[in-house]
Structure 1
């Protein structure tokens, strides 16, 4: 029996293109505003600021090193960029030799290991993405592939003990888990939850549940390992990602926008929103 409840969301801010890769950092929600090259930050009341203009249109995603420097995945360019203390962006890792497809999401775990996904072989005719991969960038800057054959790699999260990485496989309709070894390698690949949906961005909470965003179904869903649905937040447009934040990390922030297909992602439409809802358990782990 599923313990599902549908919860309404509150509008935080509007007028974005496509919000992606939300991160709670420094008391604000940071969002990659795809199609504009902007990285923005907004507080819980919708007051927002452009934090950075990046040399990418889409996809691009963000996280932070343990010393506080910002990392930006420039997906189509195949570069992982780092913002120095003077504000300049420099290359942290060159991923072009590891993939013929764009890179997508990033997570930095509690030990400083960096995981970036997407990439993979060149897509087949008529497709936008080939089978995805995950690469690991270690503290010495070395990058290597640690997983492959992923059905559209999307959101990633690492558990608080740094022992498990959970991945959204959007075209596989599942959340997939890996054990993380001491050297950052991934093993013991397994289904964490088979879903009736298309998981995009994800985050973890203190009760061991995962929130996932779903574009076609226009909702965010909280699930246990095994797939039991605990809560659903339904909105009027596609949900691209979600993040637990706020003062006590009990606010679920959702980035949503009208979806008109990959070919229409860049344009003048500004249907993107940030919404929020109070969550039953605080966020934990990384991001």
Structure 2
């Protein structure tokens, strides 16, 4: 499928095609109505990660293999948002409107835009280089929580160290957790009292109570994931990846099973299955009433009943 750049009708045609193929949602109370179209926007992207809402309501996500950040407009047209992204993965904006990203070309957290403001925020912890940071979320103080799952483990080889970190607005990087098999997506509850971490090599999304200084309390299991299977290194995998929250504090998890939705207490509400396993997701569009889901080179959009949380870009 060719990239659509400026023809508004093309988005409608794609949406009609997706509906004709029978891609629809189940009923999930307060989340989606039964039979809501799952609209295929485009396939064959060169990587699909890190979606966030842009100030104009459109959505941006990272194409890591193309070293690019890509924008999807309201009419489903696709264009380049930022080239030479440093291998960006997770994205966020701070209160100053600066685009912050996890970068992988030289692993770290960096400001990518606006032009002239580019800088590295952190690339090491206590003198040791970070392994391969993956996802991030910015709190209302301007602090950055991020995961570092390291390189993907291989059978017979030592696993790289994994960690979850917090970079406060001022001061040194804090290491919050080192006992998660593969920390991946990361998100805050709307009230910023809870930190969620997706453990790809586990069967639960994890949660931590957040302290006043940004550090966290003890790890606990928050939400039990479906679709857990054996991985190729002798353990288990849920495929848990990106996380997002809506205005009611529900947690949306991109996983091997699809988009799994949980209430604010961790109870399972339902799953939206997709043709390809999703990697990440974000609310965007007018009023943040559209859920954008990306993964395995494809991007989809789904109209939702409850908008995304308005207090952050994701």
Which residue of structure 2 aligns with residue 263 of structure 1? none
Which residue of structure 2 aligns with residue 178 of structure 1? 208
Structure 1 residue 228, shift from structure 2 partner: 3.4
Structure with bigger RCO (C-alpha 8 Å, 6+ apart): 1
Contact 1:210/1:223 (CA < 8 Å) preserved in 2? yes
Distance 2:292 2:65 in 1: 20
Q: Point out where structure 2 has 5 or more consecutive residues left out of the alignment.
A: 1-26, 29-33, 228-237
Change (3 A) 1:173 1:82: same
2:145 counterpart of 1:115:
yes
1:224-244 CA deviation, whole Å, 9 max, x = no partner?
256533232222112111112
Q: Equivalent residues in 2 for 1:22-33 (5 A)?
A: 22-26=51-55, 27-33=57-63
2:84 counterpart of 1:54:
yes
Contact 1:100/1:119 (CA < 8 Å) preserved in 2? no
Which residue of structure 2 aligns with residue 16 of structure 1? 45
Change (3 A) 1:107 1:122: same
Contact 2:123/2:130 (CA < 8 Å) preserved in 1? no
2:252 counterpart of 1:211:
yes
Contact 2:136/2:187 (CA < 8 Å) preserved in 1? no
Q: Point out where structure 1 has 5 or more consecutive residues left out of the alignment.
A: 258-271
1:136-182 CA deviation, whole Å, 9 max, x = no partner?
11112521211221121111111222211111111112111111111
Change (3 A) 1:129 1:196: farther
Following superposition, which runs of at least 4 residues in structure 1 exceed 6 angstroms of deviation?
Answer: none
Structure 1 residue 9, shift from structure 2 partner: 0.8
Change (3 A) 1:122 1:255: closer
Q: Greater Rg, structure 1 or structure 2?
A: 2
Which residue of structure 1 aligns with residue 282 of structure 2? 243
What TM-score comes out, normalization by structure 1 length? 0.83
Does the residue aligned with 1:40 lie in a helix, a strand or coil? strand
Which residue of structure 2 aligns with residue 260 of structure 1? none
What TM-score comes out, normalization by structure 2 length? 0.76
1:95-153 CA deviation, whole Å, 9 max, x = no partner?
26455631111110122110111146995754696452111111125212112211211
Alpha-carbon RMSD across the aligned residues, in angstroms, is: 2.6
Higher strand content, 1 or 2: 1
Q: Equivalent residues in 2 for 1:24-43 (5 A)?
A: 24-26=53-55, 27-43=57-73
Change (3 A) 1:11 1:140: same
2:202 counterpart of 1:135:
no
Equivalent of residue 220 in structure 1, options 234, 259, 280: 259
1:174-214 CA deviation, whole Å, 9 max, x = no partner?
11111111111011321111212322111111222211111
Change (3 A) 1:124 1:131: farther
Distance 1:18 1:52 in 2: 15
Change (3 A) 1:14 1:191: same
Does the residue aligned with 2:146 lie in a helix, a strand or coil? strand
Change (3 A) 1:98 1:25: farther
Structure 1 residue 280, shift from structure 2 partner: 2.6
